[in-house]
Structure 1
Amino acid sequence: MAEWDIRKLQILRTLREEGTVTATAEALRMTPSAVSQQLSNLARQLGVPLLEAHGRRVRLTSAARLVLRHAEAVFEQLERADAELAAYVRGEAGQVRVGAFSTAVPALVVPAVRALRESAPGVSVRVREAEAAEAYDLLAAGEVDLALSLAAHAPTARDPRFHVAPLLADPLDVALPRDHPLAGAAVLRLSDLAGESWIFGGSGPWADITRTACETAGFSPVQGHAASGWTAILAMVEAGMGVALVPRMAAVRGPSAVAMRELTEDRPVRHVVTAVRRGAQEAPPVRRVLDALRKARPAPG
């Protein structure tokens, strides 16, 4: 296969446009002898004559015109690559693969993607729902570029693989039956519900969050029923089977017979963080997605 040299092909192309070696040298800020030497080297590399004498000047051979005909497609593709690379450097192009836990997808990732369609349509975001353990395995394996998780389940700052940064503090509200005596209370503390039957998962992140929040408020929650899906949890609350903590970010719309109450004191929160492979936070498309996620954060309640 012939040895193709882009720089020398550009010189040949300029010679076709300028018409003389002298004019080509001036256009490229080279000496005429350097232009001639580069074209002679290119002819040897390709194994065909590229120039022929034409009076006191030179002109391109038919082989040179054939070479340039094919080279034009290369030049065109390189122009596209230059434009795309420049857009990448500005954070306006590139693909970012995001692994995020279930409630973060509709509350944060989807609004961020919508905003990016307007501000940086060249940035493509691929979303994969994944809880913390899986998300960090995917991040370490290079299968996602950015992970969203709860801070309680994120790697520690001592982990050299990841750069972890806080994103938001998500308040936890209480779901009560509409006819509950405290549903209309002017002030509601978590400790006021110490004697209630609680609904949360038997294990996993949400069970840990519920137990930790209640214990911080001074009591251990009595688990009346176990469920992990919000539809099931709220249906049981509606039926008067118990109460439940619900993350504000989940934006859960409960049945009309469920009262969603904001805690006025000792309000628990869950902290959400972002993580990327260490050093990748400087990649322009990743920075653009991180910025979009920050802007997508709901206003504090």
Structure 2
Amino acid sequence: MFENEALRLLVTVAESGSFTQAAVRLNYTQSAVSRRIAALEQQAGGPLFDRLPRGVRLNPAGRTLHRHATDVLDRLSRAERELAVLHAGQGGLLHVGAFATANISLVPTALRALRDARSEVEVVAAEGPTDVLMRRLADGALDLAVVSDYPSGLPPADGVTTTVLCEDELRVALPRGHRLAGAGAFGLEELRDEAWLQSAYGDRPTMLADACARAGFSPRKVIRIAEWTGKFGYVAAGLGVALVPSLAARAVPDTLVLCRLTDPALRRTLHVALPEAPIPAALELGELLRTTVDRGF
């Protein structure tokens, strides 16, 4: 409704207490300031200043608009500064997304390296499933995301490019007292009588269902638990077992053990996803993620 220049004029007149002084500051004529303020008052629905024998002062309506005007102008000024450093590759905001288990160690390790190298970059972190992260990238709400093809592949997203980061093996979490806890790698058919902890809902195919089918059985029972802490609690209580990415190994409590499975298909691929025109800080973080993977984070 109100133009930025009109709001800037309002603030300048309020600060100087005079149309004449505001005109001098802004290199306008006094009559031009009077006309612009009159037009602004018409937009606002009434007077904004009390006209005094010497100068002007804000009336209640003017003080209300002045409060909002200073807030808007401050936000615009900060946006200009952030854009300037962003386009210069020197800093600014970096919106980063990742799925839950990538945030256990991989992404935080890379972000710590970015902070050490580029303290002027301010990271805004977001967590969510891959399909949501890809949509947010396509919408311009994220600058980079770490995504996965588990459980049903990478969804397409206009204007988003993906490159492979690494592969992540899926293991099975068992309570320490389980008969297979010390067995090393074994086939999934050894767990045909177990209940399974899963977070996926609906009828979409899952890697677990496909792997069980290859092993010649269907899960006896599936318990739907969304959060990893809940899954670990159920496994520790002996109520079921769960597939756990090796990426999440550092978060597994001591009451559980992670065992390898012999099915080579039980793995997922992680990707770095970027918009078509990534900002410099996003490209730098992408390289740091690859370095983090190479070092085993």
TM-score range relative to shorter protein: 0.5 to 0.7
- Output the CA distance in 1 between the equivalents of 2:246 and 2:203: 16
Report the CA distance shift for 1:201/1:298 in structure 2 as closer, same or farther (over 3 A). farther
Contact 2:211–2:263, Cα closer than 8 Å, also in 1: no
1:295 aligned to which of 286, 291, 294? 291
The Cα of 1:286 is off from its aligned counterpart by: 1.7
Q: Secondary structure at the match of 1:212?
A: helix
Unaligned 5+ residue runs, structure 1? 1-45, 48-80
Equivalent residue for 1:284?
280
Question: Cα deviations across residues 60-110 of structure 1 (Å, max 9, x unaligned)?
Answer: xxxxxxxxxxxxxxxxxxxxx8xx76x965x55343211221222232221
SS of the residue 2:140 aligns to: coil
Q: Which runs of 5+ in 2 are unaligned?
A: 1-26, 29-80
What is the distance in 2 between the residues matched to 1:176 and 1:97? 36
Tell me the CA shift for residue 298 of structure 1.
7.0
Q: Say which SS state the counterpart of residue 218 (structure 2) adopts.
A: coil
> What pairs with 1:171-250 in structure 2 (closer than 5 Å)?
171-201=169-199, 203=201, 208-250=206-248
Residues 139 and 253 of structure 1: is their aligned pair in 2 closer, same or farther, counting only changes over 3 Å?
closer
Task: State TM-score, norm by structure 1.
Answer: 0.61
- 1:267-300 CA-partner distances (Å, limit 9, x unpaired): 61121212122232xx422210111111222767
Offset, 1:242? 1.7
**RMSD value, Cα:** 3.1
Post-superposition shift, 1:221? 2.1
Matched position secondary structure for 1:144 = coil
Distance 1:300 1:109, change over 3 A: closer
Measured after TM superposition, the shift of residue 212 of structure 1 is 3.2
Deviation at 1:136, TM superposition (A): 2.2
d(CA) in 2 for partners of 1:219 and 1:147?
A: 36
Closer/same/farther in 2, CA of residues 96 and 287 from structure 1, 3 Å limit: same
> Is residue 2:123 matched to residue 1:125?
yes
**1:155 partner amino acid:** P
Taking the aligned partners of 2:139 and 2:189, their CA distance within structure 1 comes to 43
How many Å apart are 1:182 and its aligned residue? 1.3
| 2:154 matched residue in structure 1 | 154
Using the size of structure 2 for normalisation, the TM-score is: 0.62
SS in 1 for 2:196: strand
Q: Give the number of the structure whose alpha-carbon radius of gyration is greater.
A: 1
Cα distance per residue 1:29-53 (max 9 Å; x no partner): xxxxxxxxxxxxxxxxx99xxxxxx
Aligned residue-pair number:
215
Q: Distance in 2 between matches of 1:111 and 1:260?
A: 22
Change (3 A) 1:114 1:216: farther
Instruction: Note if contact 2:198-2:242 (Cα within 8 Å) is conserved in structure 1.
Output: yes
Contact 2:184 2:260 in 1 (8 A): no
Contact 1:234 1:254 in 2 (8 A): yes
Listed as ranges, the matches of 1:2-151 within 5 Å are 91-151=89-149
1:205 is displaced (CA, Å) by 11
Aligned mates of 1:298, 1:215 — CA distance in 2 = 34
Distance of aligned partners of 1:252 and 1:218 in 2 relative to their CA distance in 1, 3 Å threshold: farther
The answer to whether the 8 A contact 1:165-1:275 is kept is yes
- Specify whether residues 200 and 132 from structure 1 end up closer, same or farther in structure 2 by C-alpha distance, changes over 3 A only: same
Following superposition of structure 1 onto structure 2, how do residues 255-270 of structure 1 map, counting pairs within 5 Å?
Answer: 255-264=253-262, 266=264, 268-270=266-268
Q: Percent identity, aligned pairs only?
A: 33
